[in-house]
Amino acid sequence: MELSVNHLLGIKYITEADIQLIFETADHFKEVINRPIKKVPSLRDITIANLFFENSTRTKLSFELAEKRLSADVINFASSSSSVAKGETLIDTVNNILSMKVDMVVMRHPNPGAGIFLSKHVNASIINAGDGAHEHPTQALLDAYSIREKLGDIAGKKVVIVGDILHSRVALSNIFALQKLGAIVKVCGPKTLIPKHITSLNVEMESNLNAALEWCDVANMLRVQNERMDISYFPTTREYTQQFGLNKSILDSLNKEIVVMHPGPINRGVEITSDVADSKQSIILDQVQNGVAVRMAVIYLLASKIKHNED
Amino acid sequence: MSQKVLLNATEINIALNRLACQLIENHDDFSNTVLVGIQPRGIFLAERLKSLLENEYSIKNIKLGYLDITFFRDDFRRSNKPLEANKTKIDFIVEDKNVVFIDDVLYTGRSIRAALTAIQSFGRPLEIELLTLIDRRFSRHLPIQPDYRGRQVDAFVGEKVKVCWMENDNEDAVYLVKSEE
């Protein structure tokens, strides 16, 4: 088995079989990262550039750790301290880096479609680590992987994504991934933060948080992305929290135990309270741990398609 | 494809008993010894030896693990089909133990080279030995030899030695398979 693609640009472009292959490979890497020595030498001859044109802590660390656990050579790049500030174009920046013999590029970029654009113009395997409000495929994979780990299977499970759907690349990638794996997805949030044509993705809308939580098996609480909001989408943070924030009393009032997820970073007390984030129903820290294993799987599988000695 | 029987079920059984006795000679009651089957094909042999030692020779509490070497191989990206991993299951301490690697066929020695690296992720063993059912002579790429061998076999490069186990292939037998070009 191998992946049907040479780049991971979005969940939209991969198949269910690809996702299952990534999960099976991630199972093996999860065992590897729990060993006393958490490193395997598979990617000794691969060099990976992490290009972050937008801030990130956990995704960048997670990718870097995954790359190092596979013994790849890693170079890091942050746009704030680079020639991008001097006006260099994306293709020039990347081609300059690639001329130093880099095999794979992990890129986060504020513009939607940046990864797709790059994959058409440069000769390297591209992994999208978030492109604007478009996709964040590895996050969706690790979310789905964490649900699979917690509930055994994804097919038939009901997942509600709560919060800022409009600005969220996590939401879009999650919808694609969960639907490909057979889950039923609803979104819940203020009308202003839900994209107009969301129903064309076969996703139902629910404006009442309680009803959504009563319906679901898993609630994925998204962060309110203040930095992407150019206008006011809701009156006050306090009002948002009252309507769409998850607290312990709502969680306890439900007639079943749901799984609580959050892609991080958490605004404690806004979309989710501390006691919920730290409760036993929350798998937030499992998501982070699984992130490394899933990213190792993605990098490993894409690297196996790179041929150095083509004859 | 034509194939020739190298060992039948009776001969395999005799070899297994001899290998079990040789292990006992060197490892006594196995209190400081662990068996490690190399994935994917070594685990059947390892399971057989374990049950033989426990049932026929009354040695209790034999520790057996499975080691997958996929991520440690030196031919990653050189073969056309991607390498598929198998499960590693080592739920005991390897540090300061006598480790016996168990695999069905020793050919180039590259798998064992990978296994030697892979096992280090679990600690520093006191000593590592190698047991194989079939030793293909004169075909090594690396200076690796078995400490216990079931049968030595001479085979050409294009030929394949196939070990079948009842648990997996519905019979105990070893074949020499000639591929016809």
Has residue A217 got a pLDDT over 50? yes
> Residue A194's domain is classified under what CATH number?
3.40.50.1370
Phi, psi of B98 (to 5 degrees): -85, 120
pLDDT at residue A35, rounded to an integer: 87
Give the domains, in start order, of chain B with CATH numbers. Answer: 2-23+32-76+83-178 (3.40.50.2020)
φ, ψ (nearest 5 deg) of residue A210? -60, -45
Mean local confidence (pLDDT), A235-253: 91
pLDDT band at B90 (very low <50, low <70, confident <90, very high): confident
A81 pLDDT higher than 70 = no
Q: Are residues A214 and A241 in the same domain?
A: yes
Cross-strand partners of A50? A76, A106
Clarify whether residues A144 and A110 are in a common domain. no
Domain range enclosing A208: 137-288
Q: Let me know: does A83 contact A93? Beta carbons within 8 Å.
A: yes
- The pLDDT of A210-235, averaged and rounded, is 87
pLDDT of residue A235: 86
Q: Are residues A152 and A230 located together in one domain of the fold?
A: yes
CA A291-A270-A265 angle, to 5 degrees, is 25
Mean pLDDT, rounded, for B8-25: 94
Residue in A35, A41, A300 closest to B72 by CB = A41
Assign A264 a pLDDT band (cuts: 50, 70, 90). confident
| B-proximal residues of A, 39-58, CB under 8 Å | 39-43, 45
Residue A187, CB-side half-sphere exposure with 13 Å CA sphere? 29
Chain A residues with beta carbon closer than 8 angstroms to that of B121: 32, 35-40
By C-alpha distance, the chain A residue nearest B87 is A28
Q: Taking the CA of residue A164 as centre, how many other CA atoms within 13 Å lie in the half-sphere pointing to its CB? A: 24
Which residue of B71, B83, B84 is in closest CB contact with A32?
A: B71
Question: What pTM did the predictor assign?
Answer: 0.86
Same domain, A122 and A145: no
Instruction: Classify residue A152 as left (phi > 0), alpha (psi -120 to 50) or beta.
Output: left
Domain assignment present for A3: no
pLDDT digits (tens, 9 = 90+) for B35-88: 999 988 999 999 999 999 999 999 988 999 999 999 898 877 666 666 778 888
Q: In whole angstroms, give the CA distance from residue A161 to residue A220.
A: 5
Indicate the number of domains in chain A: 2
Share of chain A above pLDDT 70, in %: 97
Q: What is the mean pLDDT of chain A?
A: 91
- Please give the pLDDT value at position A89: 85
Residues A220 and A184 in one domain: yes
Q: A124 and A25 share a domain?
A: yes
Q: How confident is the model at residue A311 (pLDDT cuts 50, 70, 90)?
A: very low
What type of residue sits at position A117? Answer: F
Q: Is residue A175 part of a domain?
A: yes
User: Average pLDDT in the B3-12 region?
Assistant: 92
What are the beta bridge partners of residue B153?
A: B136
Percent of chain B with pLDDT over 90: 68
- Please give, rounded to a whole number of angstroms, the shortest distance from the CA of A311 to a CA of chain B: 11
Chain B residue with Cα closest to A307: B77
Mean pLDDT of chain B: 90
Average pLDDT over residues A112-118: 93
Name the minimum distance, in Å, from the CA of B150 to any CA of chain A. Answer: 31
Inter-chain CB proximity A25 and B71 less than 8 Å? no
Using the predicted structure, report yes or no on whether residue A123 has a pLDDT greater than 90.
Answer: no
Which of A5, A18, A29, A35 best probes binding to B when mutated, by most B CB atoms within 10 angstroms?
A35
- Asked whether residue A116 falls in the same domain as residue A142, the answer is no
Q: Identify whether residues A115 and A148 lie together within a single domain.
A: no
- Which among A32, A42, A309 is the nearest to B76, CB-wise? A42
What is the C-alpha separation between A201 and A289, in angstroms, rounded? 30
pLDDT of residue B113 exceeding 50, the answer is yes
pLDDT digits (tens, 9 = 90+) for A85-114: 677 888 888 888 888 889 999 999 999 999
Do residues A145 and A173 lie in contact, with contact meaning Cβ atoms separated by under 8 Å?
no
Judged against a pLDDT cut of 50, whether residue A157 lies above it is answered with: yes
Inter-chain residue contact A304 with B117, CB threshold 8 Å: no
* Cβ distance of B77 and A41 shorter than 8 Å: no
| Segment A2-16 mean pLDDT | 94
For residues A185-190, give the mean pLDDT: 94
Examine the pLDDT at A309 and tell me if it is beyond 60.
no
A283 and A158 share a domain?
A: yes
Residue A131: pLDDT above 50? yes
User: Which residues are within 8 A (CB) of B102 and not within 5 positions of it... i.e. 6 or more apart?
Assistant: B35, B36, B37, B38, B42, B45, B46, B49, B131, B132
**Which among A1, A37, A309 is the nearest to B84, CB-wise?**
A1
Higher pLDDT, B156 or B17: B17
Q: Which whole number is the average pLDDT over A209-237?
A: 87
* Average pLDDT rounded to a whole number, residues A34-42: 88
CB contact under 8 A, B68 and A28: yes
Distance from CA of B94 to the nearest CA of A (A): 11
Q: Determine the average pLDDT of the residues in A124-133.
A: 94
Which residue type is seen at B56?
E
DSSP string, chain B: -EEEEEE-HHHHHHHHHHHHHHHHHHHTT-TTEEEEEETTTHHHHHHHHHHHHHHTS-----EEEEE--GGG-S-TTTSSSPPPP---B--S--TTPEEEEEEEEESSSHHHHHHHHHHGGG---SEEEEEEEEEETT--SSS---SEEEEEE---TT-EEEEE-HHHHSS-EEEEEEPP-
- Chain B segment 35-94 residues within 8 A of A by beta carbon are 68, 70-73, 76-78, 81-88
Q: Is the pLDDT assigned to residue A143 strictly greater than 50? A: yes
Distance from chain centroid for Cα A239: 28
The yes/no answer to whether this complex scores an ipTM above 0.85 is no
Cα–Cα distance for residue pair A222/A213, rounded to 1 Å: 14
Q: Nearest CA to CA, how far is A1 from chain B (Å)?
A: 7
pLDDT of residue A139: 96
| Residue A233: predicted pLDDT | 84
Lowest-confidence pick of A5-9, A221-225, B32-36: A221-225
Residues A220 and A298 in one domain: no
A4, part of any domain = no
Co-location of A283 and A293 in the same domain: no
* Chain A residues within an 8 Å CB radius of B81: 2
Q: What is the mean pLDDT of residues B105-119?
A: 94
d(CA A143, CA A22): 13
Residues A152, A74 within the same domain: no
